[in-house]
Amino acid sequence: MKPLITVALFSLMPLTGHAAPQKLSQDREAILAMAGSFEVEFNFRETVPLAKDYKLKKPYSAKAHELVKVIEDTGEQITLQHLLIVEDFAGPSVIKHWSQVWQFEDPQSLTYQGKKTWLPVTHSEADTQGTWTQLVTQVDDSPRYKAQGTWTHEGNTSIWTSKSSTRPLPRRDYTKRSDYDLLVVVNQHIISPEGWVHLQDNRKLVSRDGQDQFLCIENGLNHYRRIPDDKHKEGFALAEKEWAESKDFWKEVRESWLKIIADAKKPVSYARRVDGIPLMAAMGKLEKAAIEAKEVDPEGISQALQQYLR
């Protein structure tokens, strides 16, 4: 049996006596430290039942290799792209995975309301000072969650702790379960000597008929362990090659979503499918055309997204 995963929500006080530029530099250094070549271990374990008669499900674990690239750095906005490397009998293949868009002193976060709908939330200037938002995107660069939080640096440790946020069901559950509707989460990113760790303190929420009920608490512990560049060299080289071919296309898609979110005056919502076609399939078709033509079609991307937005 795997050991119980315990998520400790650190409550470190911000460092005092340091100038703001030094703190910003420390924050940036911690974010950039999450880039590189990694062996990843994902672990999720339901720990505490919160609904009467709820039976805890079996723990979930998986391993993978990921290349995490810094694809944008403007000083106060840093974007990291995850590229998942899958090994099978035919050799490695690459899946464009999630991305992290970090923005300094960004007053806007997102609250997921269910049914592919995210509500923009504006935080006060006082609450925003010194914080970073982290927007995590799905494989098609649509939003998954966006939370505001703060980096703390004490001794040899850098930790980002988010405010509580909501998000859709994870892939490990949404294809198998329909007994809850969203996750309520506090995230932590911890820079470690091995690489970094992503901790998740999750509560699984049923939100139906005007009533909310939590099913259970789930702990997530994801280790990103840095590995030498020559380990799994073929897979990482393939990830670099494929990203070089598609990065301009995904930059346009990502910037389109960032503008949609930033300009939103109402909840951001989109359809799962249009004419039976998922958004990722529509984006994949446009990506292939852009690679073949060696040219990105911004108008085509905009038109495709507008078909899915509600």
| pLDDT at residue 232 in the model | 81
Give the amino acid at 60.
Y
pLDDT at 17 over 80: no
Q: Which of 103, 146, 107, 134 shows the shortest CA–CA distance to 123? A: 107
Tell me the pLDDT tens digit for each residue of 47-102: 999 999 999 999 999 999 999 999 999 999 999 999 999 988 888 999 999 999 99
Tell me the pLDDT tens digit for each residue of 281-304: 999 999 999 999 999 999 999 999
| pLDDT at residue 15 in the model | 39
Q: Return the H-helix or E-strand segment holding 197.
A: strand 195-208
| pLDDT at residue 73 in the model | 98
| Structural contact between residues 286 and 297, judged by C-beta atoms closer than 8 angstroms | yes
Per DSSP, helices labelled H in the chain are 20-32, 125-128, 171-174, 233-262, 279-293, 298-308
Mean pLDDT for the chain?
A: 92
Query: Residue 9's pLDDT band (boundaries 50, 70, 90)?
Result: very low
Tell me the pLDDT tens digit for each residue of 217-252: 999 999 999 998 778 889 999 999 999 999 999 999
* Residue given tokens 């703190």 in the structure block: 23
| Structural contact between residues 260 and 268, judged by C-beta atoms closer than 8 angstroms | yes
Pick 61 or 174 by higher pLDDT: 61
| Structural contact between residues 191 and 30, judged by C-beta atoms closer than 8 angstroms | yes
| pLDDT at residue 250 in the model | 98
pTM: 0.91
Tell me the pLDDT tens digit for each residue of 20-43: 889 999 999 999 999 999 999 999
| Structural contact between residues 189 and 160, judged by C-beta atoms closer than 8 angstroms | yes
Report how far residue 61's alpha carbon sits from residue 45's, in angstroms, rounded to the nearest whole number.
9
Structure tokens at 7: 């998520």
Pick 145 or 18 by higher pLDDT: 145
Within 10 A of 62 (CB to CB), how many other CB atoms are there?
11
- What does the domain layout of the chain look like in residue ranges? 20-45+56-151+225-308
Enumerate the β-bridge partners of residue 145. Answer: 136
pLDDT at 108 over 90: yes
Classify residue 116 by its DSSP letter. Answer: T
